[in-house]
A and B are shown apart, each in its own frame.
Chain A
Amino acid sequence: MAGLDLSPGLWLILVALGALVGLDGISWPQLMISRPIVAGTLGGLLFGDPAAGFLSGALLEIVSARHPPYGAARYPETGPAGLVAGAAYANAGSAAGLLPLITVTLAGWAIGWIGSHSIQLQRTFCARLVGDTEAFGGDARALTRRHRLAMRLDAARAAFITGVLVVPTMVAARVAATFATPTRAHISGALAAAGIAGLAGVGARVLGGRWRGWPVFAAGALVGAVLAMVVA
């Protein structure tokens, strides 16, 4: 892990943070430190570049905006995904160009869905655990034990996902960073920008529900473009 600048101590901190953001996403306290912009910034901070972590988190927010957690819908687990993506992008070096950023965004998207499936498995297990009323028998101590066990399982699940997937994601981002001077950078850049904007369009539509607010979305984009020019 030396080539990645990832010491065992730093890896352990990442795993602990993974447990924390995983726990926050579902079990407790849902303060939204599990959102990619926060988890990503934390990941970036560990490698000295919080802005890189925030940027990768913001892209993950756009990518996951079309999967709101309504009703029984499945949605990606954003905590460990954002943390890993932010850490991997900051580790690769935000000056390395667009490819590492897109790589960690896609990796974060995949990790989010792996997390989502692991949550389904855990929920099935927890439903059996609590649903077994004969073994439970209304005993307050059994209820407390089960409640705490479910939370520990959630933290362990998220820690495992973070611990296992952070190294491959970092390796992928580092490999992507070696393509720092590509010959077709403008084509890739245009494709990536179009992909991100497309996902934002879908996300805006999903956010609106039945309400069709395309003029508002277009007006927002126009104002954003003008602001971008002013700021530049």
Chain B
Amino acid sequence: MIGGGIAYALWPLLARIHAGDPVALRGALERHASAFNAHPYLSSLAVGALARVEYEEHAPETIERFKTALRGPLGAIGDQAVWAGWRPFCLLTSILAFCLGLDARAAALGFLLLYNTGHLSLRAWGYRRGWREGLNVGGVLARSPLKQLASRLLPVNQALMGAAVALLLTRLPIEARAPEAIAGALLVGFGAYFLPSHGAVLAMSLLFGACLAWII
């Protein structure tokens, strides 16, 4: 998936390490261009660590095993901390701010600033710690606060989702803003929480139904 990108990122260092040895350089590039997958932001940790192990000239078999061992944790922790934690938190905060009267441009820009402060810090941290720890980077992941961040943001995001949808309904055009419609809608939302698979089909059907009811 991102093997080509990993090789591309490592290429300047590999070219320096294997200067004057084109066969070794080709071997190293081929090795890193092979299939690899991780969370895109935490791949910086992999790039930093792989750069270090290449710099220390570990055996190719060791590097291969190391890459394989990194894939799972980098993907799982990144998905939980960023896709399920940080990104929804920033999105929902921004939607709340908009619903409470913040200008749309400021809300969108605020989201980008807040989100990317975390995003770019994570990438920079990944490069630094990866390079510093090399083969020991697994321990860094285990000790990192990312897991804690993910578990702490779970309830916060669920509360924000509830608040955001209640406020968003009041920002809809007038036809959907009757208090009884909003109260009924929140009950439907609550019901859908308990029956997610059926709830999703029902909710999408309601949206299509809203269009049909209008037209028929």
Docked Cα-Cα span, A137 to B165, in Å, equals 53
Query: Does A44 touch B at the CB level, under 8 Å?
Result: yes
Identify A198's interface contact among B154, B181, B182, B199, CB under 8 A.
Answer: B199
Tell me the smallest distance from the CB of B193 to a CB of chain A, in Å.
4
Q: Which 9 A-B pairs have the closest CB atoms?
A: A220-B162, A138-B26, A224-B166, A198-B203, A197-B189, A195-B206, A189-B175, A224-B163, A201-B192
Binary interface encoding of chain A residues 173-199 relative to chain B, with 1 for a CB under 8 A from any of its CBs, else 0: 000100100101111111111111111
Q: Which residues of B contact A (CB under 8 A)?
A: 1, 3-5, 7-8, 11, 15, 25-30, 33-35, 40-41, 75, 79-80, 83-84, 87-88, 91, 94-96, 98-101, 103-105, 107-108, 111-112, 115-116, 119, 154-155, 157-178, 180-182, 184-186, 188-194, 196, 199-200, 202-211, 213-215
Query: Does A53 touch B at the CB level, under 8 Å?
Result: yes
Judging by beta carbons under 8 Å apart, are B158 and A201 in contact?
no
Q: Secondary structure at chain B's binding surface: helix, strand, loop or mixed?
A: helix
Count contacts on A: residues with CB < 8 A to the other chain: 98
Identify B196's interface contact among A189, A205, A216, CB under 8 A.
Answer: A205
Judging by beta carbons under 8 Å apart, are B181 and A186 in contact?
yes
25 CB-based A-B contacts, threshold 8 Å: A32-B111, A50-B108, A54-B107, A55-B98, A62-B165, A98-B173, A130-B4, A138-B33, A140-B11, A143-B8, A176-B211, A186-B181, A188-B175, A192-B206, A193-B182, A195-B210, A198-B200, A201-B199, A204-B161, A207-B161, A208-B155, A220-B159, A221-B186, A224-B167, A225-B166
- B100 partner residues in chain A, CB cutoff 8 A: 227, 231
Judging by beta carbons under 8 Å apart, are A219 and B159 in contact?
yes
Q: Which residues 62-114 in A have Cβ within 8 Å of B in the complex? A: 62, 65-66, 68-71, 94, 97-99, 101-103, 105-106, 109
Judging by beta carbons under 8 Å apart, are B107 and A37 in contact?
yes
Identify A32's interface contact among B112, B154, B196, CB under 8 A.
Answer: B112
Identify B162's interface contact among A71, A140, A218, CB under 8 A.
Answer: A218
Judging by beta carbons under 8 Å apart, are B8 and A147 in contact?
yes
Tell me the smallest distance from the CB of A82 to a CB of chain B, in Å.
11
- B88 partner residues in chain A, CB cutoff 8 A: 65, 207
Q: Given A37-B108, A195-B206, A200-B189, is A207 in contact with B181 using a C-beta cutoff of 8 Å?
A: no
- A205 partner residues in chain B, CB cutoff 8 A: 192-194, 196, 199
Query: Does A150 touch B at the CB level, under 8 Å?
Result: yes
Judging by beta carbons under 8 Å apart, are B4 and A150 in contact?
yes
- B29 partner residues in chain A, CB cutoff 8 A: 138-140, 143
Query: Does A171 touch B at the CB level, under 8 Å?
Result: no
Docked Cα-Cα span, A218 to B200, in Å, equals 18
Which single residue of chain B is at the shortest CB-CB distance from A199? Answer: B203
Judging by beta carbons under 8 Å apart, are A221 and B190 in contact?
yes
Which single residue of chain A is at the shortest CB-CB distance from B31? Answer: A138
Query: Does A206 touch B at the CB level, under 8 Å?
Result: yes
Docked Cα-Cα span, A146 to B5, in Å, equals 10
Judging by beta carbons under 8 Å apart, are A196 and B94 in contact?
no
Q: Which residues 145-180 in A have Cβ within 8 Å of B in the complex? A: 146-147, 150, 176, 179
